[in-house]
Structure 1
């Protein structure tokens, strides 16, 4: 992010189908062609993958394969939560003032009466201050964790919101929140409250990671940008980041250890995570982007593999589902991403961050999002809309999910109800949001969801 088919319930038969060997989307003009299915077993990448992570991946892969077979299918509807902005930016979103964590998770229910089936939060970019507090034990709210520093509390909220979406809110105390879903923020002296969602399994979760450049003294969003990193003036810097033994490489591992510390806590609670790091890597030269964007593709692939091997190998995290999401390759801001693909041994899901077109003005006048959907087919992985300002179903595009049955679709932060550029009513009307969340083509979340379109408890069974 630039910060700035209708089916039956998944029952025993369908679950069994999720675990069969998998198969390309059967477009009408190639209906006679046998579809190429995607793998359904996460152990193809990680032999030690947790049972919960395998079930989540199998669910998503099963939806992808139904689409590739030409069967009716559905899309998990997701919402990104910019938790650091909700907590500390009074000008953020459609409400002026400090917000409780998960404001835009709750906002969906305020509009539609339902919750997202997927929630993505960000463990970066940091606090706008120095240091990470690496190696400090959980619970974050105790004296061992330096959470009394201003703006450090959002990382606690991100982790606990993730647990709450996966396991339910309110819940028994397992960290910094008490059983009622509240905690005291020692930095501000205020009570922080997570949104209730029915008290049981309510969806799946993911993390993005806007990582400040390795070696940055301050950990904040400005330090994620290429123009503010050594890459802006030192053509050899990015290569040193991936070179073992260099100072830059040691700083990279320090940043990754911060990420791993949080993911390890979630692993201990059995929470599977869709992890989406180093996104939008295919930013065109001269267009800015993050410090890892627009770099040499081979060096970028090495960066991804270092990250993967550190988290899975060195830190033993087997609750992860890795998501690779380039920019939409419109030829202006984003370029063709193929050379940046880390390889099937390191990626589970492919997606796109689509800011190149809109429902009313699709790219090249073609069906909205179809060019990206088709383009991702070649990777033989489940396909997701990783970031969009728009809900998939609107008055302008009521057939999006029929034409392009993405496995998962995530709306970015405040864009749900507010335009972060113009500062006005968002790009989605309430009618658009309701149309999406009430469609039989989507899977929503919440333990008390009366739509009854998916039993999230099924992902928790042993």
Structure 2
């Protein structure tokens, strides 16, 4: 270990010669993300900064306090933090986003991927973690309110909440909005992002105690004028998103900046966002997803993970968004759910978008089993009838859905049915869904 320490120490002294003087509890980091190799761990391609390497032997802690830099040693000791808030992924070890140490695995760390998440966001995340441990009032209800900035029945409004109230006597605890109309085009691709729904969401969160979810049906950055939500792109086109100076990359960051503006507006009003980007990636219908039906395309998997990680770092490190709970939600009916998974350090919640003839579908059970092994809160990020049930006059049975949560999916923390023809009020037994003893509705959320 002494040899290891000497090598690390020598490397550190050379690497940090150009850096500012380091105090006893901090050290230089790649805070703007430019030195990342995509792994967010250890030394980064001979850059003059580090992403918090850790030690696996307490002999690297000369002063015995288990914290920060130790007399010019180049790492911190496992189980070393006195504060649980810095354990971003909840495992008590390893790279902890913007933190200078790792915490004892037995602590009550929130487990959020972003160690700088604000207190409200940490509290809401702990709620999601705790819900499945309760005997009742253990699953948050939700609903999709529509797309911001469009007209017609799919436009964001409180109509879905009002409709659920009239049918069931309850309003959903989580209300969702989508910022993007990725099927449309505009002279400026960023104009396809709209966050006018924020005004309503702020009132729901701050005045009524509701929770907020944002999803994005993002336009493709490949066409000059956007659109292309469901237009496949080749892997060579996907790679252009990461090519410095390329027009596709420029358009991508125009999109990201506009989305971040909306999320920042909510942050400035104290609103935590359950944020679900790049969803249903296992399906072949969105530009960011699979290259074909159930294709096992390792290049596409790598591109997707890089896209997610880059988005995560841009929002978290560059834009300073500390109000986000990141949700990874593959489609239930496709394979390779873990092949697209960007990693525990970049995901807070896992779930399924499940549109099936029945909740009892074996593919739903398989997806639940697979994702719940990650030991993160599990959710049904979208739920509703498949096209087959939709054609059969809306006979999807939401009473069967809530019964299945009791028997087959007990780790579920929330569910969000879609609106329009997929809504519980357009199908069977909406009342049973929102009035089950397990269901937590608006006015019952406490964290």
The 8 Å contact of residues 393 and 399 in structure 1, kept in 2 or not, is answered as no
Partner of 2:140: 76
How far apart are residue 43 of structure 1 and its match? 5.9
Asked if 1:413 corresponds to 2:419, the answer is yes
Structure 1 residue 262 displacement after superposition: 0.5
Conservation of the 8 A alpha-carbon contact between 1:393 and 1:435 = no
Q: Deviations over 1:302-330 (max 9, x none)?
A: 000000001011101000000000011x4
2:143–2:176 Cα contact (<8 Å) kept = yes
Contact kept, 8 Å, 2:216 with 2:276, in 1: the verdict is: yes
Contact 2:358–2:396, Cα closer than 8 Å, also in 1: no
In 2, the alpha carbon distance for the partners of 1:38 and 1:356 equals 39
Deviation at residue 247 of structure 1 after TM alignment:
2.5
**Which secondary structure does the structure 2 equivalent of 1:82 belong to?**
strand
Supply the distance in 2 between the matched residues of 1:399 and 1:213 (Cα, whole angstroms): 39
- For residues 306 and 52 of structure 1, the distance between their equivalents in structure 2, rounded to whole angstroms, comes to 25
C-alpha distance in 1 between matches for 2:438 and 2:189? 43
Equivalent in 317, 323, 326 of residue 319 of structure 1: 323
1:50-69 to 2 correspondences below 5 Å: 50-64=118-132, 66=133
Give the CA deviation at 1:41.
Answer: 3.8
Cα deviation, residue 102, structure 1: 2.0
Separation (CA, whole Å) in 2 of partners of 1:72 and 1:112: 19
Shift of 1:357: 3.8
Cα pair 1:386 1:409 within 8 Å, conserved: yes
Change in Cα spacing, 1:373 to 1:58, as seen in structure 2 (3 Å) is: same
Judging changes above 3 Å, is the alpha-carbon distance between structure 1 residues 83 and 211 closer, same or farther for their aligned structure 2 residues? closer
Matched with 1:382 is 377
Partner of 1:192: none
Q: What residue number does 1:307 align with?
A: 311
> How many angstroms apart in 1 are the aligned matches of 2:243 and 2:145?
34
- When normalised by structure 1's length, the TM-score is 0.64
Query: How many Å separate the matches in 1 of 2:307 and 2:107?
Result: 25
Which has the larger displacement, 240-249 or 49-58?
240-249
Are residue 343 (structure 1) and residue 343 (structure 2) matched? Answer: yes
Q: Which residue of 1 aligns with 2:202?
A: 163
TM-superposed CA distance for 1:395, in Å, is 4.8
Q: Relative to structure 1, is the Cα distance of residues 235 and 129 closer, same or farther in structure 2, using a 3 angstrom cutoff?
A: closer
Which residue of the partner structure matches residue 358 of structure 1?
A: 358
Rate the CA distance shift 1:108–1:239 in 2: closer, same or farther, 3 A: same
SS in 1 for 2:115: coil
Q: What value does the CA root-mean-square deviation take over the aligned residues?
A: 3.2
Task: Report the CA distance shift for 1:394/1:130 in structure 2 as closer, same or farther (over 3 A).
Answer: closer
Q: Deviations over 1:354-404 (max 9, x none)?
A: 124424xx324x9xx433321212222100001111599745456212111
TM-score (norm 2): 0.66
Structure 2 Cα separation of the partners of residues 379 and 392 of structure 1: 29
Distance 1:60 1:374 in 2: 18
Shift of 1:216: 3.3
Give the secondary-structure state (helix, strand or coil) at the position aligned to 1:340: coil
Structure with larger Rg: 2
Q: Residues 77 and 116 of structure 1 are in contact (CA less than 8 Å); yes or no, is this contact kept in structure 2? A: yes
> Are positions 1:297 and 2:336 aligned together?
no
Q: Which residue number in structure 2 is paired with residue 255 of structure 1?
A: 255
CA contact (8 A) 1:387 1:412 kept: yes
What 5-or-longer segments of structure 1 have no aligned partner?
1-18, 24-36, 94-98, 135-145, 169-199, 419-424, 447-453
Per-residue deviation at 1:162?
Answer: 1.6
Give, in whole Å, the separation in 1 of the partners of 2:372 and 2:378: 8
Does residue 128 of structure 1 match 2:191? no
Tell me what 2:27 maps to: none
Cα 1:260–1:347 change in 2 (3 A) is same
Higher RCO, Cα 8 Å, sep 6+ = 1
Structure 2 contact 402–436 (Cα < 8 Å) conserved: no
Rounded to whole Å, the distance in 2 between the matches of 1:263 and 1:132 is 20
Deviation (angstroms), 1:52: 0.9
Aligned residue runs from structure 1 range 262-281, under 5 A: 262-281=262-281
Structure 1 CA distance, aligned partners of 2:329 and 2:379? 9
Q: Report the number of matched residues.
A: 328
2:215 alignment partner in structure 1: 208
Q: Is the 8 A contact 1:48 1:318 kept in 2?
A: yes
Q: Is the 8 A contact 2:399 2:433 kept in 1?
A: no
- Contact 1:267-1:318 within 8 A present in 2 as well: yes
Question: Which residue does 1:88 correspond to in 2?
Answer: 151
Q: Which residue in the other structure is 2:84 paired with?
A: none
CA contact (8 A) 1:392 1:401 kept: no
Q: 1:401 aligns to what?
A: 405
